Amino acid sequence: MTADSPVGLETPGDAAPDAAMPENAASEVTSAEFRRMPVADMIEWIGRNGEPTDPRDDIDADSLVRRFPHLGAVATRDVTLDGPNGPLPGRIYVDETAQAAGVGFVWAHGGAFLGGHLDIPEANWTSLELASRGVPVLSIDYTKCVRGVHYPVPSDDVLAWWEEARSHSLEWLGVPGDRLVLGGASAGATLTAGAVQRLIDAERPVPAGLILVYPALHPDPTDPTAVAPKAAHLDGLTMNFAGSLAALTDPQVFPGWGNGRGFPRTFVVACERDAFVPSAEAFVRTLERAGVAAQYRLELDSHHGHIDEPSDAGAHRTLAAMREWLGA
């Protein structure tokens, strides 16, 4: 659940659940119009039309390199996963001129489980910045929860990407499989943390580390004690992902319900002006009780989805902190 621009979903209270679908919904809507739709209309619209167009004209790769010349040395390569639910795109980022951090990173963007793709800044800019600082990245996509899709479909995709990354880690990222870190933002954080829980439950190797940025790790990220969200808009997104009432209390779906045992060292970043802070903080406490080395960072004066905006000062601070933690 994120403010990624193509989907534009914000934290509870930023959307108007009772707004009507715009008259031009059959063709194109602005990001602002899309955010004002009820969740059911969002899901229907995006299922028929795809994601709304991002109005920004300075977030493509060439524009990012012009804005941040240090990104120019990063080489990218597109790869495709023959996933359990069909082909999925991924993108490799490597800067051979950067001082190597000694780890590789598998990164999943957010998008409220409805949208997001490899070209949004949360995926592309984040990967470019980390690669330019010596952390080779595999940015991954997954099946969205539209047209009747629910859990476990996107989770299966993330798990499949993880296994593929481990088997190709030397070829793709230049590091052994046991030096791969997994991470994600918002919905991507939910999926990657859930994937780790599934690996633990299956007694399979877990990543060397985990990074969660403004995560939604509970059915109601604003109240980690609640089984179902109180806000109608958030409840619609949560149920659309989970697909059933039973899934709402499953730690493989919402890892905040788990006991944290078996998780690798974990870095959790929350934004001060994000309603989802309670979910992040509760999960950190769970990891600490389990004896996991957990580091928590509250990015001051920042909003949910801040690393999807390259002009956000807090985003630059967060990326620097991620690189420092990855290299520790």
Does pTM surpass 0.85?
Answer: yes
Per-residue model confidence (pLDDT) at position 237: 95
Nearest to 128 by CA among 95, 157, 103: 95
- Cα–Cα distance between 170 and 177 in angstroms, integer? 7
Which amino acid belongs to residue 147? R
Residue 60's CB: how many other CB atoms inside 10 A? 14
Tens of pLDDT, residue by residue, the chain (328 residues): 433 333 333 333 333 333 333 444 445 677 778 878 899 999 999 999 988 888 899 999 999 999 999 999 999 999 999 999 999 999 999 999 999 999 999 999 999 999 999 999 999 999 999 999 999 999 999 999 999 999 999 999 999 999 999 999 999 999 999 999 999 999 999 999 999 999 999 999 999 999 999 999 999 999 999 998 989 999 999 999 999 999 999 999 999 999 999 999 999 999 999 999 999 999 999 999 999 999 999 999 999 999 999 999 999 999 999 999 999 8
- Cα–Cα distance between 161 and 112 in angstroms, integer? 19
Q: Residue 176: is the preceding peptide bond cis (ω within 30°)? A: no
Per-residue model confidence (pLDDT) at position 26: 41
* Cβ atoms of 292 and 239 closer than 8 Å: no
Per-residue model confidence (pLDDT) at position 27: 52
Per-residue model confidence (pLDDT) at position 35: 79
Nearest to 248 by CA among 259, 260, 235: 235
